[in-house]
Chain A
């Protein structure tokens, strides 16, 4: 990729008339400066992530040192104003809401993407794609409000003790993750060369067989990225979740109705309690400790995604470009 890039650069430069700025600074210097800027931009991202992590560690590490891990990740409850710092209910809450949203959003998102990319006639695609982008543009607080006003009473009517449940949160989050999943998987499907489809159809495969056996495996890495980014979007969401999940720091008993119980997520806990704590107190440190846990989870998801995608499939993607 990089070699073709450079040669085209030179060709066009040589043929174009020299401008005043180009006469002042030799080409080598200009490239040196531009490369420098690009390098700084690239490295600064890593640098900033590093700084954020250091800051989180500085503020949050005392929590893990002062409170025994057995309390943090044991059976203790979460009731910080009386010194109960059990993170397990919050962790379970976040995981339940996120897993629920993934279960809802991934099949819906992938099938929508397949329909858009492979089956829908162009005129339908032209209507649907902008609409999905509008969905992506809805502020999360608006979706949260919608969930609070419309969705929660509906779920209560279906027999849940209250409408503010993990499931309500999952539904809202699923709708928030959908546009991400759809547009990225649609791009991944689009990147599959037309020859693959032509080849499959030519040897007698039906359209469905082509999609299932040829196009989807070819686009696998892109689809994995789409799902992972969707999960990332879901686990970090705060305000909408805070409005619809009921915020009860309770681990629901295992069973068929466990998703219809209120839960409290880690993000909502940080948002609800950050304004209240005095800086430097244990509670303050624990909230940053929750930040560390969240950071580790998203970091884990991202590394998992790059491992799943990495190696062979990366080379294939480059080849396509």
Chain B
């Protein structure tokens, strides 16, 4: 039915208009596509010294706080911070799209090799310590577990809370996605108990959450869920589990103090990686982070500051 209308509309008026429109649009768009990226990249460098900072979601709040505070120290430097996970940051460093990659785990040998292949030599800086808290719903009667029990839970060998002294209810395992450094650290130090030969992996029924918030909100509404997260992200709706290295060791709750003195067994370094030895702006920024001013912010956000060596 509509066909007639279209035909008449096209021919009674000037039928060249669509053609002219297409051509003029094409001439407008095509050159813009070609020159776009170059101008966009060059401009900020001249006006302002910019640092691209990307990676670990564990570090993202800390990195944001540092970037914000550093504005007062040196207003000419602007720092863009994005999260996405340690793997994301490291991949970006390998692909040469960031200045500093944040990571909550150390780079793997094959990642370093991949970076070198692209002509990038990653340099590691430890910027803070993070105690990894194992969290459950506040109503869960279980409040202490050994590393062995945690490994059994997260690999799916134990599937009911009753086996670790809790209610008769199935255990819902929560984890971050595999691109999270926290995931990899937890896999190596808890699921595999730090044993390099151990090839255990998370149980297939593990729910992989795209963000820390995902874990927090599921723990909050599910009394049978267990998850893990950086101490800085634990909210009052979650209960932290006291963890013991083995059945003879004391159970220790995670805190800034127990993380700093080494008595809490699941604590790890947080890292920043630069492409090659850092130069002027980036070097100054990293020095400031690792100095007293930067480390004061670390403690404020619930992470463990670096101890003075």
Which residues of A line the B interface, CB within 8 A? 1, 4-5, 8-9, 12-13, 16, 19, 21-22, 25, 30, 33-34, 37, 77, 79-82, 84, 89, 148, 152-153, 156, 161-164, 242-243, 246-251, 261-262, 264, 272-273, 275-279, 281, 321
Contacts and interface: CB of A to CB of B under 8 A. Distances in A.
20 contacts: A4-B3, A9-B7, A16-B11, A16-B12, A33-B19, A80-B178, A162-B172, A163-B222, A243-B210, A246-B207, A247-B207, A247-B209, A248-B205, A251-B204, A261-B205, A272-B208, A273-B178, A275-B85, A279-B95, A321-B3
Contacts of A9: 7-8, 10-11
In the complex, which of the residues B1, B15, B184, B206 has the most CB atoms of chain A within 10 Å of its own CB atom? B15
Interface in B182-223: 184, 199, 201-202, 204-210, 217-218, 221-222
B84 interface: yes
B16 interface: yes
Interface string B104-135: 00000001001000000000000000000000
7 smallest CB-CB distances across A and B, nearest first, come from: A276-B179, A276-B87, A250-B204, A247-B208, A246-B207, A275-B88, A250-B205
Given A8-B4, A162-B172, A321-B3, A21 B204 contact: no
Interface in B2-33: 3-4, 7-8, 10-12, 14-16, 18-19, 22
A257 B104 CA distance: 38
Given A16-B12, A30-B15, A84 B201 contact: yes
B58 interface: no
A34 B19 contact: yes
In the complex, which of the residues B85, B172, B207, B222 has the most CB atoms of chain A within 10 Å of its own CB atom? B207
B210 A77 contact: no
B149 interface: no
Contacts of B15: 30, 34
B207 A164 contact: yes
B158 interface: no
Interface of B: 1, 3-4, 7-8, 10-12, 14-16, 18-19, 22, 84-85, 87-88, 91, 94-95, 111, 114, 170, 172, 177-179, 184, 199, 201-202, 204-210, 217-218, 221-222, 224-225
A273 B95 CA distance: 16
Given A19-B14, A89-B204, A262-B205, A278 B178 contact: no
Contacts of B19: 33-34, 37
A197 to B, nearest CB: 18
Contact of A273 (B4, B177, B202, B207): B177
Contacts of B8: 8-9, 12
A13 B11 contact: yes
B202 A79 contact: yes
B14 A5 contact: no
